[in-house]
Structure 1
């Protein structure tokens, strides 16, 4: 029994070290290949780690891309405060609006985003892709086109476990306190105020069912 416990603790320790240095989500098969262990054992270790770290400052999250270490959502206020300066320099108001639309309508196409905003959103999408906050996935209806969805990195910035924990649309788009008159480069999207009422029904109804943290 003691040997089994020691082995389990050893695997959990190795998993935690890998997640710390990976800087990207790791899937079950990644751990299995790297540690040369059965996926069943790895899954058990991951589940135990998730439970053990639930009240820690650093928690283990499982997203679409795999497992990742993230800050505890209970500490989201101080984490957001820390990241606010960096994000303020990187994201314009238009980009934050596009991010909000993707978060509540994902997966969503570029054409749908631009239909909601009424302006070209190429610059904002490129910025969000470069920042790792959104990603492109093949469209199930047309493999020649792509849809946009948020990433695990996006959830980490907000200190959330999943998109189901998203705050209200207004709170999300106001998380980054931008200057009242941000400097806009020539290639930046035109600024356009977006509110939940201007979104299609699918976005508004989802927003109404989300608790504000």
Structure 2
């Protein structure tokens, strides 16, 4: 296993900073080995668009602050565009299964959904709330703004899931998408 590459992958998909302890435990490595790999990552990304942020013993990959203006303009332009198929798919999963974890969303979609979730949250269509059953993760649910866009007063007013899916065979992976 390439420790540095594996750490980079974990930090890339993580929605929040990851602690040194969590990395060491997940990878079965000593803290010193993890720190060495993190320092190598930091050096490699020094002049990159992606940088390694460190706060105490928590680590996160982030965009380089030097690119903040361009990144902000890009994201604002994306917010003005129509929702992508990935966004609509993610929004449908959240609407019918809410509240739902990112892991559950990704299990249905089969891909990392961090970017899509971030865009939906920036548009005000979903919100992240603490999971009362597991303080380490969050739940996602639709917002009042989502309901307003659809002209609904409650998620219960969404079209009946069973009725919708009985007319159309769901795509592969969606057969387990029953409303919560």
TM-score by length of 1: 0.41
Q: Which has the higher contact order (CA 8 A, sep 6+)?
A: 1
The structure carrying a bigger strand percent of its residues is 2
TM-score by length of 2: 0.48
